[in-house]
Structure 1
Amino acid sequence: MKKQTYIILAIMLPVCVLTLSWGRMEYLLQIKEKYVVPIVGYDPRDLLSGHYIQYRIEWNYDQEKLEEFKKEFMDNSSKLNSYMVPAYLCMIKKESELFFYPMLLKKSQGCLEVIKGEFTNFKSFPSSGFGFNVTRMRYYVPEKYGRLLEEALTKNNAQVSFVVSDNNEILVSDLRLNGRPWKDVIAEKK
């Protein structure tokens, strides 16, 4: 009898943890402010192979703050000898438009939100520029919409709507085409 109880607990524990994790994510998506940013670099073949669209966020950098960061980077470049460096983006709003600037340390003063990620191509920065990657840069698409969405992505500007979690990670809530939910755009095409 005791062995059966342990088996039931071993099965139920992962289910409970996954349910709580999913519930927390859904809760955050409902209560936190949503932001919309453009995406580029999506590969339509991903839709057909794994039902996910992978993309790259097109960060709208605040040029003045980016120049300050370049100076900070040059002062610390001897310490940063990697192609991928853990880092943060500060999100600010100017005249209702979102701007971002990079930070090596998490400083939230003056930021609407702080996003955790990593810089890529950092070793050759600032001469070649850099990228900022966050986890979960993919969006699930049901298989039945794959071909329709592939076509719509080629004809529309794509964006993602997201919230920033308490641990500074992006949680994507929706894929948008020309500012509208992708399902609405697809429904018009049918």
Structure 2
Amino acid sequence: MIESNRKLIAVLVFPIIALMLLTGNKSYLLNTGREVILPITGYDPRDLLSGHYLTYRVEYGVDDICKGMMGKVAMEAYVCLSPKQFSLSPVNNCEQMIRGVCMNSSRFEAGIERYYIPEEQASELDKLVRGGKASIVVSVQPSGTAQIKDLLIDGKSWRAE
């Protein structure tokens, strides 16, 4: 009886601890990285709004990102924001770098291409992003890991609308 109670407690406590660790890690990444604001644009009107996620293209201000990667295996890649350049290996002397993957569709993906939004505001935010005045606030770690902090419409948080 005591043994089964211990197992039950372990089964109940483990997911709670795992969730706390995930939440703590996300909070750490958001609060310790350098903040960057990147413009975004909607693309493919059939896929801009996918469920409760707003999907968009991030404008890094760097030409030829993942050029020539069409049909190739996904590869780790880096976009240096200062000075602006793209590389398939970490960039030396880069003040701010975002690590991602060049997908076989010649798209650079850093895990910041989708933003969760409440269903009630989905249609309105979809129209505003299509209007071309949207950007995202991103927290970037020295390792290049990027996390979205906020969605901006005309320079203001969408939550303030």
- The TM tier, using the shorter chain, reads 0.7 to 0.9
Runs of 4+ in 1 over 6 A off after TM superposition: none
Q: Unmatched 5+ residue regions in structure 1?
A: 94-98, 123-129
State the secondary structure of the residue aligned to 1:159: strand
Tell me if 1:89 matches 2:79.
yes
In structure 2, do the counterparts of structure 1 residues 167 and 13 end up closer, same or farther at CA, with 3 Å as the change threshold?
farther
1:183 paired residue number: 159
Q: Which residue identity is paired with 1:139?
A: Y
Q: How much does 1:173 deviate?
A: 0.4
Counterpart CA distance in 2 for 1:6 and 1:134 is 40
Q: 1:114 aligns with which of 97, 114, 126?
A: 97
1:21-59: CA deviations, max 9, x gaps? Answer: 212222332232210111123558664x52111112111
> Quick check: which has more Rg, 1 or 2?
1
Structure 2 gap ranges (5+): none
User: Relative to 1, partners in 2 of residues 1:87 and 1:44: Cα closer, same or farther, differing over 3 Å?
Assistant: same
Asked if 2 retains the 8 angstrom alpha-carbon contact of 1:39 and 1:159, the reply is: yes
Q: Is the 8 A contact 1:160 1:172 kept in 2?
A: yes
Count of residues in correspondence between the two structures: 157
How many Å separate the matches in 2 of 1:166 and 1:110?
12
TM-score (norm: length of structure 1):
0.69
Pairwise CA distance, 1:180: 1.4
Distance 1:20 1:165 in 2: 18
Corresponding residue of 1:126: none
How large is the RMSD of aligned CA atoms in angstroms? 2.9
Q: Distance in 1 between matches of 2:20 and 2:52?
A: 22
| Cα contact 1:44–1:53 (8 A) shared by 2 | no
1:132-158 per-position Cα deviation (integer Å, ceiling 9, x unaligned): 111242111111212222233333511
- CA deviation map 1:66-119 (0-9, x unaligned): 6xx98xx9xxx9xxx8253222222215xxxxx3x2212224x31123322112
Q: Is the 8 A contact 2:96 2:142 kept in 1?
A: no
**C-alpha distance 18-131 of structure 1, shift in aligned 2 (>3 A):** same
Q: Which has the higher contact order (CA 8 A, sep 6+)?
A: 2
In 2, Cα distance between the equivalents of 1:87 and 1:21? 25
1:154 aligned partner: 130
Partner of 1:30: 31
* Structure 2 residue matching 1:6: 3-state secondary structure: helix
Report % sequence identity.
Answer: 27
TM-score by length of 2: 0.79
Distance in 1 (alpha carbons) for counterparts of 2:56 and 2:109: 10
SS for the counterpart of 2:38 is: strand
